[in-house]
Amino acid sequence: GVAAALAGLFVFAMVQRDEARMQRNIATAERANAERQRDTATAALNYLVSVYKLANPATENPKTITALTILERGARQIETDLRGQPETQAKLYEALGGVYQNLGDIDEAERLLTLAAAIPEAAMTDRLSSQAQLASIDLQRRRLDAAKARLDRLESEVAGAASSGSISAERTGDFKMRLAENRALFEYLSGRPVEAAKYYSEALALIDPARPQSVAAAARIATNRGLMLVAMRDFAAGRADLDRARSLFRQLYGERHLLTAKATHNIAYAEFESKAVAAAIATMKTALDVYETVLEANHPDLANARKLYGTMLIAAGEPQRAISALESAAAGFEAAYGPSYYDLGYTLVYLAAAYSDAGDDLRAIQSIDRAQRIYAKNFEPGGFDFGDLDVYRGVILAKAGKRAEGSRHCTAGLKILEANLGGEDPYFREMSDKCAVAVE
């Protein structure tokens, strides 16, 4: 009996000792994790301070330092100054890649996010976030097969990380929401808008209303769904989503905030697509007033707004005013991102149309030729964008009196658009009508 009791006490002592060891190991791991997070935060703070320092105070004018200058400097310093801190590198690459993506510099965004995703020491949430953003870039570049493969892989990795406890339930919900958003865009670009709408509804349902960031997430998803519905010509439902998004942004940030202005910009786009051109121009002026107040002269968001405003002025029969807006937009994109930027190509196509309407056929052809060279550096042959460009070229040539050549380009462009969109797509029908009028 005594032996049994002593054996029992010995086993109990072993269990206590093992439990104490386990708790000590947990405490050590938590302390190491806390220290790693502290070191990451300190390195990130030091990096943030360093990118705001003048590279050469004797020669560098602080008034010429723009946000883009700081971003470019920051991207370089992550690679050099943080080489020995890969976890911090990954976090900053991921964050900076997202900034570049929001600004529209997809090449630089993809480069930084690819670097972030390739760092094995990166925190799981940072690595998954980089992959989610890379999937959205695949979609933006119309690389649908690559996007689907990445989304399928990401869904599996999120499920595995959630099951192992590598990411919290809260972050799991965030990633599922982003997956649903990206799958919505994939379905829409694949010609399945009904499926896309289901995924957007799924994304909205995954929002946790108790979290502070839920309002911003709801506004973002409402914006994306609204723009898709507008593209599908469901203007009432699309406008309802876009109005909701602007109301949420106003609630968060006020009337004169950039995000509220962007929401107003989106409503102007919806009005323009529904052929309410005068209303669209008035609404766009409201957005431009904020953009021009808060943004640098060559900021990409301002260039993007001027691009849309210019297309509205073309539709209103005011080609000279359209040329002024579109030339400013083109200059802004080129100043920010160089002469091969894809959105510069889009702007040059619209500028070619404005020159054509103003009777300047030579500049119209020069502009669309330059756009084609930019497209060749950014888009795959046979894609939607080349079909669109061919139709614009055909219309411009027909207006210049070269109807046979214009008809050939229209036919080639419409064939590409039909292959990408389908014969019943509203945009395909609109471009068909444009060609028919031009070459008749």
Q: Is the pLDDT of residue 189 over 60?
A: yes
411 within a domain of the structure (yes/no)? yes
429 within a domain of the structure (yes/no)? yes
CA quadruple 250, 255, 258, 263: dihedral sign: positive
73 within a domain of the structure (yes/no)? no
397 within a domain of the structure (yes/no)? yes
Q: Residues 133-157: pLDDT tens digits?
A: 999 999 988 899 999 999 999 999 9
199 within a domain of the structure (yes/no)? no
2 within a domain of the structure (yes/no)? no
Alpha-carbon gap, residue 246 to 240, rounded angstroms? 10
393 within a domain of the structure (yes/no)? yes
How far is the CA of 271 from the CAs of 70, 176, 235, 325, 326, in angstroms? 36, 32, 8, 19, 20
Average pLDDT for residues 184-200, to the nearest whole number?
91
Q: Is the pLDDT of residue 23 over 70?
A: no
237 within a domain of the structure (yes/no)? no
Per the structure, the complete domain to which residue 417 belongs is given by 379-439
Domain count, the chain: 1
Q: Residues 76-110: pLDDT tens digits?
A: 677 766 666 778 888 888 888 888 887 778 888 99
CB atoms inside a 10 Å sphere around CB 207: 19
How far is the CA of 397 from the CAs of 48, 130, 361, 410, in angstroms? 52, 44, 8, 10
Q: Residues 307-343: pLDDT tens digits?
A: 999 999 999 999 999 999 999 999 999 998 899 999 9
CB atoms inside a 10 Å sphere around CB 278: 11
Reported pTM: 0.72
Reported confidence tier of residue 1, pLDDT bands at 50, 70, 90: very low
